[in-house]
A and B are shown apart, each in its own frame.
Chain A
Amino acid sequence: MVAPVAVAVAATTALATPSSLTCALVPSWQGLRGSLGPARSLQWPKKQQRQCRRKAGGTSVTAQFELKPPPYPLDALEPHMSKETLEYHWGKHHRGYVDNLNKLTAGTELDELSLEDIILATYNKGDLLPPFNHAAQIWNHDFFWESMKPGGGGKPSGELLELINRDFGSFERFVEELRSAAATQFGSGWAWLAYKANRLDVGNAVNPKPSDEDKRLVVVKSPNAVNPLIWDYSPLLTIDVWEHAYYLDFQNRRADYISIFLEKLVSWEAVSSRLEIAKARAAEREEEEERKKREEEEKTSDGEVEEIYVDKKSDDSETE
């Protein structure tokens, strides 16, 4: 499931999404010096992680994203999702996003960022910059293909099922919620199951008392290219509800497409392994924050207050 190219970097580090990962997120999650928060950093470190899925052009600076194929042949989801749909959806739409992003980022400072970092940077607090749609759509489609498998469907098991029962009441109620989110996304967009482990994070404020309540499964929908990474959630599963995802097979019957997706296509194994990694990521981030806090305190007692606070705005009030 894990993209082979990402493995080297991915080993112990928390990744947003194991299987769809195009590029490891190592640095941005790993307490970059001067960053405000793991996923929120807008200070993009360069050259730390570019290689992953980009065509390695030797030592060339111009890195390009590649179109990653689904982890199954294009006819493998028939009769539930036709080969023709995959040929257009992956071969044309997905490819178009890759080509356009490469065009837009070539020679810019985005050129050296990972896909995830481009998404976060160009989301630009909701005032989207042009590369955003293409970057996020590449990520979303990679993630979507890997949310499905031939012979999918059925019910999840293990910890995933336990959390679903805990957070939605039952598997059936979860399905209803996801179905409803997918059906009521007005226009093009996506419906998601995500793991929400983030703390209250408003501006420079950090929730000083994260509770287990913060860590739960949520169903969300998003318009057009937007995905839950921009809210700092860990996506676990997605349904593409752009019309191009289902129009050739289902025409206007989006509800039928959603049912077939849930009954015949969804890969609960992929969702389970994403959950595992999302939890590991959350734990790692907490540890990291703890560690930073301790360091802060130690440094404070050493009387280095002034220098440290230059780029540690967020902790001013707490440490004093």
Chain B
Amino acid sequence: MALRALVARKSLGLGFQSEAKILAVGSAAHSRGFQTFSLPDLPYDYGALEPAISGEIMQLHHQKHHQTYVTNYNKALEQLHDAIAKGDAAAVVKLQSAIKFNGGGHVNHSIFWKNLTPVSHGGGEPPHGSLGWAIDTNFGSMEALVQKINAEGAALQGSGWVWLALDKELKKLVVETTANQDPLVTKGPTLVPLLGIDVWEHAYYLQYKNVRPEYLKNIWKVINWKYASEVYEKESP
């Protein structure tokens, strides 16, 4: 149902402005009645996060990996569109894993790019406002939060993400991990992602090889806390 609603909503072309910010909805209306997604631009140059993350990694990550998720997401949605039109229930169900993986890949990376920013633009500068207070309240200190995220990110088996999330219902901050490209929402419908760190090997391998903890240590230097604060303030009651 949710997917059907998603397709239907896109097909009406509603909410383009706001959706574009989050999911980069493609502007070209699809001839078959629904819109496709497109790769969002990075808000900084590929090399702008060096030395924390190399330009080569950023370019491959954005142009190749994220692009592939977008392409395959669109493909799966097109197949979904057809399957729904034909009333083929089995085909609709069969498409779920590809939609979750590729759609999740697109959603997660779209957030990730905004979670990063060059040092010259305030990367790594800790949050001062209400998010800073909330972190102290929920985790004891910023250092404790960083330690927790690094530990959970390092311990994650295989590919996945580690998140700082706002649980809107419990009104508290939580650290979560998701496997593969599962988006945060799979861990609970009330979770809002403030910060997501990609711990797939493709996110760090060319520079950090097998030493994921080193990548996690360095990524804090380019974290965009301003963005996380904005989301937090908007979503906190």
Q: Which A residues form the contact surface with B (CB < 8 A)?
A: 88, 92-93, 96, 133, 186-189, 223-225, 242-244, 247-248, 251-252
Contact = CB atoms under 8 A, between A and B. Distances in A.
Contacts of B157: 133, 188, 224-225
B75 interface: no
Interface string B146-169: 000000000001111000000000
B158 A247 contact: no
A247 B157 CA distance: 18
A88 B209 contact: yes
B78 interface: no
Interface in B109-152: none
Contacts of B179: 187
B206 interface: yes
Contacts of B209: 88, 92
Interface stretch (B14-22, B197-205, B219-227): B197-205
B101 A242 contact: no
Nearest to A87: B209
B63 to A, nearest CB: 9
Contacts of B201: 188, 242-244, 247
Going nearest first, the 5 A-B pairs with the smallest beta carbon separation are A188-B158, A187-B180, A243-B201, A224-B158, A187-B159
Contacts of B160: 187
B65 A187 contact: no
Interface in B36-55: none
B210 A247 contact: no
Contacts of B206: 247-248, 251
A205 B3 CA distance: 40
B210 A252 contact: no
- The residue in A96, A133, A186, A251 that gathers the most chain B C-beta atoms within 10 A of its C-beta is A186
A86 to B, nearest CB: 13
Given A188-B158, A242-B158, A248-B205, A96 B180 contact: no
Contacts of A225: 157-158
A133 B155 CA distance: 11
Interface in B66-98: 68, 97
B60 interface: yes
A183 B160 CA distance: 18
Given A224-B157, A224-B158, A251-B60, A243 B202 contact: yes
B158 A187 contact: yes
B181 interface: yes
Nearest to B102: A186
B97 A186 contact: yes
B172 interface: no
A189 B101 contact: no
A51 B209 CA distance: 34
Given A188-B159, A189-B158, A252-B68, A244 B205 contact: yes
B64 interface: yes
A187 B157 CA distance: 11
Nearest to B179: A187
A96 B210 CA distance: 9
Interface string B174-194: 000001110000000000000
5 contacts: A188-B158, A243-B159, A243-B201, A244-B201, A248-B205
A199 B90 CA distance: 29
Contacts of B68: 252
Given A224-B157, A247-B206, 13 more contacts: A96-B210, A186-B181, A187-B179, A188-B157, A188-B158, A188-B159, A225-B157, A243-B159, A243-B205, A251-B60, A251-B202, A251-B206, A252-B202
B180 A186 contact: yes
Given A93-B210, A225-B157, A243 B200 contact: yes
B205 to A, nearest CB: 5
Contacts of A242: 158, 201
Nearest to B101: A186
Contact of B64 (A88, A187, A244, A251): A251
Given A92-B209, A188-B159, A252 B64 contact: yes
A93 B201 CA distance: 12
Nearest to B65: A252
A244 B159 CA distance: 11
A244 B180 contact: no
A247 B160 CA distance: 16
A223 B180 CA distance: 10
Contacts of A248: 205-206
Given A186-B181, A189-B158, A92 B60 contact: no
Nearest to B105: A186
- The residue in B64, B65, B180, B206 that gathers the most chain A C-beta atoms within 10 A of its C-beta is B180
A189 B65 CA distance: 17
Contact of A187 (B181, B205, B210): B181
A247 B203 CA distance: 11
A88 B210 contact: yes
Contacts of B60: 251-252
A92 B210 contact: yes
B163 to A, nearest CB: 16
- The residue in A88, A96, A187 that gathers the most chain B C-beta atoms within 10 A of its C-beta is A187
